[in-house]
Chain A
Amino acid sequence: MKANVFHHNGANAEKSILVDGSFQGRFIENFSVFELPLQDGSWDNTVGLEVVKDDEIYRTFDVSKLQGKDGNCRCGMVCSPSYGLRNVQISGRN
């Protein structure tokens, strides 16, 4: 079964469940239960800065947490070795 909900704010979303018509209990509910509360602030309209210098990558989108010790991405995202970038100071004349 699939529910496609059209929200008043213009959003629409589909959620699927698996229904077992054989009454054997082999059903699956939708995945809402797996979503954890957002504790670190939303990424809506956030700014990303990426600097490449001397073949090193510095970026505010720090994805190092996604990588295992083997360097492989653990959650299917695009990951590349990088440094977290938190502060920027630009010097020089205009």
Chain B
Amino acid sequence: MAFFYKCTNPRRIRVVLTAGKELRNGVRYSYGEFSDGSTKFKLGVCAGHVAISIQQGHVYEGQTLHFPQKPAQALAYLSLNQISNSAKVSSMQWYANGKYVGTNNAYIYEPGVYDVEGVFTFDDSSLESITNRMYLGFDNDVDFAVHHFLSDLGELKLWMDNTNNPFDSIQWSVDDQYIWTG
């Protein structure tokens, strides 16, 4: 929809300008805001390359910036059925940034940085959970997948693939105990 605002009754008003940063779904959002207490204009810019935690200040001069387009489709479909051994899982719950979002299946539509946790109840009633960070709706600078194979002898093989970005090293840990850097 269109929004029209015309100042038809000029008068002395107190307008406060504030500037700051906030997190929107885990993404830094820098803004400036004019407000007279009842009417507010707030203009801001989302960060880019959100997987890079330490960045130099960004200069937007000369760039064309755009309003974001609401995603027409989900950015992530969290589905028990897509897990390769789903038959071993009785049920599961999904959490995004600590908030419950669904049982067995859930969608995420809004761009952001999410710590997605899956809490799995296996067919023997045991309960396990893992958390993966997902960068949704933004340029993905950390595109990779981790795989494993456990042999009958108990030898564990780990590898990663799908990375489109060169990497310097990988730290592997087991139960939060560091074991190796490669």
Contact = CB atoms under 8 A, between A and B. Distances in A.
Interface string A28-51: 111111111011111111111111
A16 B142 contact: no
A83 to B, nearest CB: 6
A32 B176 CA distance: 20
B128 A86 contact: no
Interface in B49-90: 49-55, 58, 60, 63, 65-79, 82-85, 88
B22 to A, nearest CB: 10
Interface of B: 1-7, 24-25, 27, 29, 31, 35, 38-55, 58, 60, 63, 65-79, 82-85, 88, 95-101, 106-112, 116, 118, 120, 122-124, 126, 128, 130-142, 144-148, 150, 152, 154, 156, 158, 160, 162-163, 165-174, 176
Given A1-B148, A35-B76, A46 B110 contact: no
A62 B111 CA distance: 11
Contact of A7 (B6, B122, B168): B168
Contacts of A14: 132-133
Contacts, number: 300
Nearest to B110: A77
B162 to A, nearest CB: 7
Nearest to B35: A52
A6 B101 CA distance: 30
A7 B142 contact: yes
Interface string A70-89: 00001111100001111111
